Amino acid sequence: MRIVLVGPPGAGKGTQAAFLAQNLSIPHISTGDLFRANISQQTELGKLAKSYMDEGNLVPDEVTIAMARDRMEQPDAANGFLLDGFPRNVSQAEALDQALKADGVELDAVLDLEVPEDEVVKRIAGRRICRNESSHVFHVTYSPPKKEGVCDACGGELYQRDDDSEETVRRRLEVYHTQTEPIIDYYRAQGLVVTISALGKVDDVTKRAMEALDRQVEGKDQSDEDKSDSEDGDDK
């Protein structure tokens, strides 16, 4: 399965992506996590990305697309992946389409996580993430770790992201509305979008997401069959 996850900052993309990727046995590819790994390793890419991320702006397409493509070409992504945070504007979506087309594959679904703006702000203010590669996400009230400041999954240190300050969050939301939301229409035109509410317990959202993805994939298989039936018909 090839899935794109979209939703505003704080919608719970990272949290859901981790569960969904596990359920579906596909790698979770998060451009935000890849940038943060580069920042902690102090690479050139990390230094560049940080200057944009700290302002709540998008990292330039050229480096983002190259990084995402590079990750998608790894062997574990050969049969599918869950993209989280990419594409984030229409030109990235077009670049992704081209890359998939070159490989002769296509997306199965775009899962759109919907959440009201005041909830987003509450979620982000309490968000804590693991410093280790696992990048697990917790919330001080909504999903606290068993031990304060420590990741349940790997024992790593939990921290608050630099770009989770109130001012930067406001800018990130603005960027989401102006640059990222248009990709929902772009994918809707391809019949790929499934929208679910991201409110409620983490488990319930995961269940909702799995059901929505199943429905989308079944519907898509059916329409592919119909298409090939009518193509067969045209040949006669």
Examine the residue annotation and report whether 88 is marked as an active-site residue of this protein: yes
Q: Tokens representing 65?
A: 């697309």
- Helix intervals (H) in 26-89: 31-40, 44-53, 61-72
Rounded Cα distance between 99 and 104, Å, is 9
CB of 207 to ligand ADP, least distance (A): 22
Q: Is 87 annotated as a binding residue?
A: yes
Q: Based on the shown chain and the rule CB under 6 A, indicate whether residue 13 belongs to the binding site for ligand ADP.
A: yes
Q: Choose the stretch contacting ligand ADP; rule: CB under 6 A; options: 83-91, 107-115, 196-204, 222-230.
A: 83-91
Q: Choose the stretch contacting ligand ADP; rule: CB under 6 A; options: 18-26, 55-63, 104-112, 200-208.
A: 55-63
Exposed/middle/buried for residue 85 (C-beta within 10 Å: 0-12, 13-18, 19+): buried
Q: Based on the shown chain and the rule CB under 6 A, indicate whether residue 12 belongs to the binding site for ligand ADP.
A: no
Q: Give the amino acid at 61.
A: D
- For 213-223, b/e burial (b = at least 16 CB within 10 A) is beebeeebeee
Q: Tokens representing 63?
A: 């480096």
Q: Based on the shown chain and the rule CB under 6 A, indicate whether residue 64 belongs to the binding site for ligand ADP.
A: yes
Per-residue x/- track, 134-163, ligand ADP (CB under 6 A): -----------------------------x
Rounded Cα distance between 185 and 73, Å, is 27
Examine the residue annotation and report whether 127 is marked as an active-site residue of this protein: yes
Query: Segment 161-180, which members bind ligand ADP (CB under 6 A)?
Result: 163, 172
Q: Which of 15, 16, 31, 216 binds ligand ADP (CB under 6 A)?
A: 31
Q: Is 188 annotated as a binding residue?
A: no
Report which of 120, 53, 110 is spatially closest to residue 83, judged by C-alpha positions: 110
Catalytic residues: 13, 88, 127, 161, 172
